[in-house]
């Protein structure tokens, strides 16, 4: 008996402890959030809560702290992007645009756009860093008559932010408010991608003006949400409501532009550049009363990792480790993995049974949910399979969640069963 007990204790010491989510303090009431990396690769989570912008940071000891950023013109705000020491934030109705900067003395707000004309609105803006870790911001303004104006903002040698006109005379007209993002190419060149008027256009400097190249155009589609940018890539969402699709598009900016459809039913969250190429973070969704989300990470080949919850932020460290920010019932949760987990969860539902498998896993258990309600936790077979009884009728949402042993990251499969 003593030997058995000793063996169990030794195994408990040698096996890695099951990791858990790291909650971001103060985020229980967060209405909008993004994930960015500081210069040393540590995470920064910027989120709006109670009409203020807060930024959570993780210390070397693994402890999280959250601090208020500098005051902004108003409480109705959304967070566009975070990168390095900067967070881009704007009025929820497109009335102003500000860049928050973290310096030694604390946070400082640079107001890039103080106000817009009556009936006009700013679209979702984009932020990236140049080779010297200086901010590059792009945004578009749409007037009430549909004219648009694309702008690029960069600091000069004295640190003053200078705005440069990319487009003039209100061209192109758009019946939607355009989103925009700067793209910093590997050689240091700057491009600006803007989506609107049922098209996506890349603008490149040419002498004292800018020249536009259509990346994508479709009379049936409508761009929506933010534009992601990383290295020579950009990504955005194209809506096709008549077909029930929201396509995730990825463009490579090199020797001409090439655009591919990575997914046909998701919304882009972020774009990151990994060791083997671009990875797009997005959210698939199922509507049944409320909307249930399933976070996705999709690479350029369309290989997809599904998560067991809504993904609100994604970043890749220079060494290749991945960081995830998920929204949970109690607030925002942060996870880190050394690489993308090779595990994939599959789930099938009938009127009598829930069955599935966790490919790449040979032990552990899977959590089965009906909507947000945990039904039961069932063990995996040696082949990664699982099953449980079901007795629901009518339309039901089921989700299976397997938690990665090393990181605690919830990997999942979301399905709708219509009876």
Q: What pLDDT, in 10s, does the model give residues 55-91?
A: 999 999 999 999 999 999 999 999 999 999 999 999 9
**DSSP label at 145?**
T
Residue 393 placed within a domain? yes
The predicted pLDDT at position 8 comes to 30
Q: Are residues 43 and 130 in the same domain?
A: yes
Q: Is the dihedral of CA 70, 71, 75, 79 positive or negative?
A: negative
DSSP single-letter state for residue 95: S
Is residue 15 a part of any domain in this protein?
no
Does position 3 have pLDDT exceeding 50, yes or no?
no
**Same domain membership, residue 381 and residue 311:** no
- Asked if the structure places residue 16 within a domain, the reply is no
Residue 14 has a pLDDT of 34
| 234 and 357, same domain (yes or no) | no
Q: Domains in the chain: how many in total?
A: 2
DSSP 339: S
H/E stretch holding 396: strand 396-403
Average pLDDT over residues 19-43: 94
Is the same domain home to 157 and 263?
yes
Residue 9 lies in a domain: no
Task: Pick the last residue of a domain from 278, 311, 341.
Answer: 341
Q: Pull the structure tokens for residue 105.
A: 């003395």
Model pLDDT, residue 289: 86
Specify the CATH number for the domain of residue 266.
2.130.10.10
Kindly state whether residues 49 and 198 are assigned to the same domain: yes
Residues 6 or more apart from 66 whose CB is under 8 A from it? 24, 25, 26, 27, 54, 55, 56, 57
Cα gap 140→151, rounded to integer Å: 6
pLDDT tier at 13 (50, 70, 90 boundaries)? very low
pLDDT band for 185, please (50, 70, 90 cuts): confident
Question: Does some domain include residue 127?
Answer: yes
Name the domain boundary from 326, 341, 356: 341
Q: Cα(179)–Cα(174) distance, rounded to whole angstroms?
A: 11
CA atoms within 13 A on the CB side of 224: 14
CA angle, 72 then 76 then 81, to 5°:
70
Mean pLDDT of 149-173: 96
Assess whether 363 and 335 both reside in one domain: no
pLDDT at 15: 35
Are 325 and 358 within one domain? Answer: no
Is the model's pTM score more than 0.95?
no
For residues 12-40, give the mean pLDDT. Answer: 80
* Range 224-244 average pLDDT: 93
Same-domain check for residues 314 and 289: yes
Domain boundary among 307, 341, 375: 341
Q: What is the pLDDT of residue 363?
A: 86
Q: Kindly state whether residue 237 falls inside one of the protein's structural domains.
A: yes
d(CA 26, CA 56): 8
- pLDDT of amino acid 247: 97
Indicate whether 158 and 106 sit together in one domain: yes
**Which strands make up the sheet holding 410-417, listed edge to edge?**
373-379, 365-370, 396-403, 410-417
How far is Cα 304 from Cα 105, in angstroms, rounded to an integer?
42
- Are 214 and 172 in a shared domain? yes
Find the mean pLDDT for residues 184-193. Answer: 90
The predicted structure's pLDDT at residue 198: 85
* 327 within some domain: yes
Q: Is residue 6 part of a domain?
A: no
pLDDT of residue 393: 77
Least trusted range by pLDDT, from 198-202, 346-350, 366-370: 198-202
Q: Quick one: average pLDDT of 241-251?
A: 95
**Full residue range of the structural domain in which residue 382 is found:** 346-417
> Given the DSSP bridges, would you call strands 179-184 and 161-165 parallel, antiparallel or unpaired?
unpaired
Residues 29 and 150 in one domain: yes
pLDDT band at 407 (very low <50, low <70, confident <90, very high): very high
What pLDDT score does 270 carry? 97
Q: Taking residues 366-377, what's their average pLDDT?
A: 95
The answer on 92 and 236 residing in a single domain is yes
Confidence of residue 17 (pLDDT cuts 50, 70, 90): very low
- Averaged pLDDT for residues 133-152: 97
Please state, for a pLDDT cut of 70, what percent of the chain lies above it: 95
């Amino acid at each position: 008996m003593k030997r058995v007990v000793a063996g169990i204790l030794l195994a408990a010491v040698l096996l890695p402890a099951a990791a858990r989510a790291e909650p971001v303090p103060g985020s229980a009431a967060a209405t909008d959030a993004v994930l960015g990396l500081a210069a040393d690769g540590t995470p920064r989570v910027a989120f709006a809560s109670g009409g203020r912008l807060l930024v959570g940071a993780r210390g070397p000891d693994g402890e999280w702290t959250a601090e208020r950023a500098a005051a902004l013109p108003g409480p109705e705000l959304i967070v566009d992007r975070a990168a390095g020491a900067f967070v881009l934030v704007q009025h929820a109705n497109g009335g102003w645009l500000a860049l928050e900067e973290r310096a030694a003395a604390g946070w400082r707000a640079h107001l890039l756009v103080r106000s817009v004309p009556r009936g006009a609105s700013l679209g979702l803006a984009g932020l990236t860093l140049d080779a010297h870790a200086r901010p590059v911001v792009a945004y578009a303004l749409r007037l009430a008559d549909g004219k648009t104006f694309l702008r690029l903002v960069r600091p000069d040698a004295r640190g003053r932010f200078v705005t440069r006109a990319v487009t003039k005379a209100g061209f192109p007209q758009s019946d939607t408010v355009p989103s925009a993002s700067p793209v910093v190419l590997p050689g240091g060149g700057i491009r600006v991608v803007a989506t609107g008027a049922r098209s996506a256009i890349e603008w490149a400097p040419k002498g004292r003006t800018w020249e536009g190249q259509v990346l994508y155009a479709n009379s049936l589609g409508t761009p929506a949400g933010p534009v992601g940018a990383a290295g020579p890539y950009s990504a955005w969402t194209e809506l096709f409501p008549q077909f029930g699709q929201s396509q995730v598009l990825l463009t490579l900016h090199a020797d001409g532009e090439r655009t591919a459809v990575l997914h046909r039913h998701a919304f882009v969250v972020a774009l990151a550049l990994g060791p083997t190429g671009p990875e797009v973070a997005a959210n698939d969704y199922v509507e049944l009363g409320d909307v249930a989300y399933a976070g996705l990470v999709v690479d350029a080949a369309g290989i997809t990792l599904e998560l067991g919850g809504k993904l609100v932020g994604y970043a890749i460290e220079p060494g290749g480790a991945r960081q995830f920010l998920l929204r949970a019932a109690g607030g925002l949760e942060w996870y880190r993995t050394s690489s993308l987990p090779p595990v994939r969860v599959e789930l099938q539902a009938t009127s009598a049974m829930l069955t599935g498998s966790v490919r790449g896993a040979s032990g552990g258990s899977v959590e089965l949910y009906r909507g947000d309600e945990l039904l039961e936790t069932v063990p995996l077979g040696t082949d990664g399979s699982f099953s449980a009884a079901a007795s629901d009728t009518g339309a039901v949402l089921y989700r299976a969640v397997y938690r990665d042993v090393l990181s605690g990251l919830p990997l999942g499969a979301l399905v709708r069963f219509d009876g």
